[in-house]
Structure 1
Amino acid sequence: MPDWSYHGIFRPLLNRLPPNVSRELIHRGMSFIATLPLQIGPQLIHFLGREESSPLIHQKKHALNFNSPVGLSGKIDPLLSGTKAFTNLGFGFLEIGPVAVKPSKHFSTPTVDKKIEVIQFPTKVESIGIEKTINQLHKVKKKQPIFVRLIGTRENLSKMIKRFEQYADGYIIEASYPELISETNKPIFFSTASPSENLVDSPFAGIVLEHAEKDVQFLEKVINLRKNGFQGTIITTGGIKEPEQALQLLDAGADFIMLSDGYVFAGPGLTKRINEALLDRLNYNPTHQHGWLAYWLFGLFIMIGGLLALLFSMTTVVLPYDELFLEMTGESIMTFNERIMLFMAHDRMTLAGTMISGGIVYMQLAKHGVKHGLKWAKQAFDIAAIIGFLGIFSFIGFGYFDWLHLIFWLILLPVYVYGYRKTKGVTGTASSKNRKNDVIFKRGVFGQLAFVLLGFSFVLGGIIISIIGMTTIFVPTDLAYICMPAEMMNAFNENLLPVLAHDRAGFGSALLSVGLLVLTLSLWGFQQGNRWVWWTYLIGGLPAFWAGIYIHFAIGYTNFIHLLPAYVALGLYIIGLILTYPFFIKAK
């Protein structure tokens, strides 16, 4: 669940429910998605949230590999109902528990203070018990280290360590029993909210420093531990609501941090934002990727093709090879029904505007993304390009295939294949200037939601228009504008409908491809300070919206229902530009 969906859609609804109900609703829902067969669930989560982290922030400690220093506190998921989902959300490690030998009879409801954004977790220790915990962990496909927090007597702790050896990568205990270290070869961490000086010589692998409510000295506690000579691992729990606080704790000497109530209020994207901030601080400048120029030329050729199509749609409309297939001139069609020609110009100009916009976005992704080794930019490019190539098959079902499209396809294909092969090694991840949950960030999240909805609408519209082009060709408002049924047009010239179907399906295919560009850019390219992303939206969107709306008024096809999707899309586009301007352009 990315921030744009959490803050923009789900959180307002969840706030109306009791805390434990909303928690379980979200956790069980995410876990259901995560366990969809054939890896559909994890792939969907990755597609929507893009949670991979850069190898530059990976680390190895206690013989364990951590893809990120950011973990999740067990306080967030006491019933383990969301563990299957959390393994897919970019955490470097997960805490499970607390776990007691026997389950608690009753579970308390957390107290949520929405004004100061604090959750008061139950003070009484509550656990689902060792058997249920093991049963849940048995179902989890582990992708990162799992630390199990154990509570109980010395004997119970020893018993549980033996039971969890198959599942745990480390243990967290709340009582000082150093003799337990000899019972496992896995690290044991001692949990405390008030570290004392004698912890400097602690035999444990490290400590888990607990953040108490209104603990203003939390950062100083980490600093003092290091000043006093503590060499073990320091893991903090809580006290983080925004990336800046995470960076401060890590700079103070913490090795790892666990998110708790801050994760609920800041949103599920907090982990990703911290990882991107860590990478940003490294000032890493990747080498330019060979092959990006081929990708850029691919976009340039599409833009040029769109400009030529725009020129034709404003002049002759019908090209010589169209007339050859129709065995009829454009003037003859005009004489028969002028609106058929105008309708054809309408389809061809909207296609032209879509191609110009798509070419601009392709060029921007190549220059600012692929060139700098960003894997998400390459994958966004590849998805849209491959769908675009396959779209050529959508407009030959009626028997008309113009050679100009084939020639254009043959020019683009080798350029794309060359770029694809030369950029196969792209693995870079994004960095971000975002540090705070300020107004700029919050508005940016809603702006992202607008662009995501815009991308989804383009994808859906492209699919629907392609299907219409391959089946009925027209919608009722089309026939009302032309003032003629399809049967009469077919009787006039049996090759006329295939040409119109070709135009309609071709536009649908192009809109689908561009929709995927907008969608993936909106899902994966939202890092604060990415000025080029905002300019891509602005410059890339203008040709498609201008051509798509202008031509309708130019030919008098102004039916409100027909244009309503375009008006909605334009509204989302303008809202997205306004809300994201400070996020992308004014970010320091």
Structure 2
Amino acid sequence: MPDWSYQTLFKPALFKLPAERARDVTLRAMGTLSSLPGGTWVIKTMGHMESYSDLHNVIWGTEFKYPIGLSGRLDVHGTAHKALAPFGFGYFEIGPVTVEKVESGQSVYRDLVHESIVYPDLPVNDGLDAWIRRLQRKRAHSKPYIIRLSGMPGADIQEAIRQIERMAGRLAAYADGFVIDLYAGERRAQHVLDAVEEAGKRLDAASCGKPLLLYVPADFPEPETCKLVLAADRDIWKGMVIGDAVHMRDESGDWLVVGPAAKQPGIAKIRLIRELCGEDWPIVASGGVNEPQDALELYEAGAQLVQLHSGLVYAGPGLPKRINEAVVYRKTCGTDAEPAAFWRSWGWMCFLGLGMVIGGILAWLIASTLVVLPYDIEFLGISSAALSAANLRLLPFMSHDRITLAGTMISIGVLYFMLARYGLKAGLHWCKTALLASGGVGFGSFFLFLGYGYFDPLHAAVAVMLLPMFVLSMRGRADTPSRTPPNLHNDKLWRRAQWGQLMLVSLGFALAAGGALISYIGITRVFVVTDLEFLCASPDMLKAINEKLLPLIAHDRAGFGGALFADAIALLAAALWGVREGERWLWWMFLLGGLPGFAAGFLVHFTIGYTDFWHLFPAYLAFGLFAAGLYLLYPFMAGRRLAEKSQQSRCKARGIGRNLSNKYE
């Protein structure tokens, strides 16, 4: 459920359901998908979260691949941890966990105006035994678990410590750390201050050496926060977690409001703790992260880790990836990335792309004049004049197949050239993956030409010439983060771009399905109904003209289908993984890469008079998706205001990036 589908399709539908129902439906669906064969691969493919060494961090002896965690209260049953792991999360919080199950008669609800989630002020969960049963199962991911422990509602502070001590002992085997919440229920600040030293000593023994993190609510008074920090023994308490909620009371009871209201109090507490403790006491911040800018502000204030909650609901599951990209950009901005050597990798792909463009142009010229080449005539054993005499529409029909193939070849060439020139050269991993997938399909589709026993020497020669270029271009590593300033806000421009991305992703899937279908038809029954209506002939009648005619036509159709599928894979990968604010080259690649294919398809059909509406309907629909996607994405990817914004972002990032680098080293 990437942002382009969440913001446009799923979120409007889910927000019509009650908050808890929508949460459960979403998490259960994602959990089910991840449990299916290939489900995790699908999730990873949709998001393509890349791992950069600049994001890796070791805290408390535990490696965090990404500096972002997921709040336990969002996935209260741990339903979708496996599904969410590839989204860019570095760890998962579990809890709050209590010794017994805690339920509430009050409902969770959404505050749409403030983009917040409102919970009853209770540690609602399934209880210790239920969580132990879940954790005893084989972990389906490698991300650390930070378990938040809380006393039962109504328990006094001493009883709460005893309960937490018991839970820590039983859960230590499954935890990479514990968050100790002494504030639940009626316990007050002074109670916690009086007991923090005792709690630390007792829990240090029970936790089996696992780090203990002291929880403090976002709206905890600053004077008491100072006392708490000074009272905490840092040999025992290995860090602090700033809560993600502020308290609210009305006539219906006490509530926790998770959302933007917790950000500024959280930032103030982080800065206060930093003043008192310096830079060496880890802080986890979890309040008010609804867009990447929020997370950057928390990191800049002094947090080592940031935890998501309401932002995942309102911004979408792509938020952790956007934050990771923003952090990497801020840390690397101002440093020079050495481009890949021309002859080492990307130059060969540029030559391959240019070769495809030139080959496509030549194929277009031949298909619009001679139509059939000498080796085609030799294979058939009759002249083109004899073919035309047998059926006046036969050569135009063959021309229509070959010109559409030529247009697709030009389209592939443009995509490959620009992905190499701007992607491989810059070391972008997603570009290399896109080219590898598309090229593998494209070269593999050569064997479709043999489906009816026809060997095309020209296609074979082209494949033999281009394949070494493809292999040479895939050498070397591609793991450099993008140097384009990332989008930091969930503004109108970003929301509009989600619709544009949806259009292009849909186009990519549609073209891939179309290419696969055309290839299948080409190597089986060769024609669709409208083809035979245009030819005014049946397959038997065409066989009567020449026994080898169907294999020749089938070769053209299967080849076109394979080329279209390869083209679609490159387009789809770029639409899925490459769309970012300010990536002008990619927008122009979509435009210049798409036009030859559509131009070839429409021009040849109208030129030869093959204008059946239902035959061309898929092409009309595809062009509509293409035009709409480019229109909606233009302001986000190529708008005029982005140049100034990009420069401002770079200047600001140079200062912030230095600070972030210090915090992660």
Structure 2 gaps of 5+ residues are 152-159, 183-195, 247-256, 646-665
Aligned mates of 1:199, 1:309 — CA distance in 2: 77
Aligned mates of 2:632, 2:575 — CA distance in 1: 13
1:182 aligns with 2:205: yes
Corresponding residue number in structure 2 for 1:223? 271
Corresponding residue number in structure 2 for 1:210? 243
Shift of 1:60: 1.0
Corresponding residue number in structure 2 for 1:426? 478
Contact 2:146–2:178 (Cα < 8 Å) also in 1: yes
Change (3 A) 1:83 1:167: same
What is the 5 A alignment of 1:454-533? 454-533=507-586
Structure 1 gaps of 5+ residues are none
Deviates more, 1:230-239 or 1:326-335: 230-239
Aligned mates of 1:143, 1:377 — CA distance in 2: 26
Shift of 1:109: 2.7
1:34 aligns with 2:58: no
Contact 2:145–2:177 (Cα < 8 Å) also in 1: yes
Aligned mates of 1:457, 1:181 — CA distance in 2: 58
Aligned mates of 2:226, 2:265 — CA distance in 1: 16
Q: What per-residue deviation string (whole Å, max 9, x for no partner) do you get for residues 465-487 of structure 1?
A: 00000011110001111111111
SS in 1 for 2:277: coil
Contact 2:69–2:308 (Cα < 8 Å) also in 1: yes
Q: What per-residue deviation string (whole Å, max 9, x for no partner) do you get for residues 456-511 of structure 1?
A: 00100000000000011110001111111111110011111111111111100000
Contact 1:238–1:262 (Cα < 8 Å) also in 2: no
Q: What per-residue deviation string (whole Å, max 9, x for no partner) do you get for residues 9-44 of structure 1?
A: 21122112121111111111111121223xx22211
Corresponding residue number in structure 2 for 1:111? 109
Shift of 1:105: 4.5
Corresponding residue number in structure 2 for 1:286? 337
Aligned mates of 1:55, 1:112 — CA distance in 2: 37
What is the 5 A alignment of 1:358-507? 358-420=412-474, 422-423=475-476, 425-430=477-482, 432-507=485-560
Contact 2:104–2:120 (Cα < 8 Å) also in 1: no
The aligned amino acid for 2:350 is W
Q: TM-score, normalised by structure 2?
A: 0.86
Q: What per-residue deviation string (whole Å, max 9, x for no partner) do you get for residues 495-539 of structure 1?
A: 111111111111000000001011111111112221111010011
SS in 1 for 2:240: strand
Deviates more, 1:79-88 or 1:328-337: 79-88
Of 175, 180, 197, which aligns to 1:173?
Answer: 180
Aligned mates of 2:339, 2:135 — CA distance in 1: 43
What is the 5 A alignment of 1:516-555? 516-555=569-608
What is the 5 A alignment of 1:289-300? 289=340, 290-300=344-354
Q: What per-residue deviation string (whole Å, max 9, x for no partner) do you get for residues 92-117 of structure 1?
A: 11101111111125564311122321
Aligned mates of 1:513, 1:108 — CA distance in 2: 53
1:261 aligns with 2:310: yes
SS in 1 for 2:87: coil
Contact 2:428–2:482 (Cα < 8 Å) also in 1: yes
SS in 2 for 1:147: strand
Change (3 A) 1:2 1:364: same
SS in 2 for 1:287: coil
Corresponding residue number in structure 1 for 2:254? none
Aligned mates of 2:438, 2:290 — CA distance in 1: 36
Corresponding residue number in structure 2 for 1:270? 319
Corresponding residue number in structure 1 for 2:142? 143
Aligned mates of 2:408, 2:171 — CA distance in 1: 57
Change (3 A) 1:393 1:108: farther
Contact 1:87–1:142 (Cα < 8 Å) also in 2: yes
1:326 aligns with 2:385: no
What RMSD over aligned residues (CA atoms) do the two structures have, in Å?
1.5
The aligned amino acid for 1:148 is I
Aligned mates of 2:435, 2:604 — CA distance in 1: 29
Q: What per-residue deviation string (whole Å, max 9, x for no partner) do you get for residues 142-168 of structure 1?
A: 322110001122222111112112211
The aligned amino acid for 1:209 is I
Contact 1:530–1:585 (Cα < 8 Å) also in 2: yes
Aligned mates of 2:43, 2:4 — CA distance in 1: 14
- Identity level (%): 40
The aligned amino acid for 1:30 is M
Change (3 A) 1:263 1:276: same
SS in 2 for 1:434: coil
Of 173, 182, 191, which aligns to 2:215?
Answer: 191
Aligned mates of 2:452, 2:174 — CA distance in 1: 59
Change (3 A) 1:107 1:336: farther
Deviates more, 1:91-100 or 1:11-20: 11-20
Aligned mates of 2:150, 2:26 — CA distance in 1: 27
Change (3 A) 1:50 1:560: same
Contact 2:68–2:305 (Cα < 8 Å) also in 1: yes
SS in 1 for 2:432: helix
Corresponding residue number in structure 1 for 2:13? 13
Deviates more, 1:45-54 or 1:316-325: 45-54
The aligned amino acid for 1:172 is V
Deviates more, 1:174-183 or 1:532-541: 174-183
Contact 2:322–2:486 (Cα < 8 Å) also in 1: no
Q: What per-residue deviation string (whole Å, max 9, x for no partner) do you get for residues 19-72 of structure 1?
A: 1111111111111121223xx222111100112331112111111111121111
Of 340, 354, 366, which aligns to 2:394?
Answer: 340
Contact 2:88–2:324 (Cα < 8 Å) also in 1: no
1:240 aligns with 2:289: yes
Aligned mates of 2:622, 2:276 — CA distance in 1: 59
Shift of 1:199: 3.5
SS in 1 for 2:307: strand
SS in 1 for 2:147: strand
The aligned amino acid for 1:362 is Y
Shift of 1:83: 2.1
Deviates more, 1:279-288 or 1:438-447: 279-288
Aligned mates of 1:311, 1:533 — CA distance in 2: 29
Deviates more, 1:231-240 or 1:358-367: 231-240
What is the 5 A alignment of 1:22-101? 22-37=22-37, 40-101=38-99
SS in 2 for 1:239: coil
Aligned mates of 1:138, 1:87 — CA distance in 2: 18
Shift of 1:572: 0.5
Corresponding residue number in structure 2 for 1:120? 118
The aligned amino acid for 1:94 is F
Aligned mates of 2:63, 2:516 — CA distance in 1: 43
Corresponding residue number in structure 1 for 2:658? none
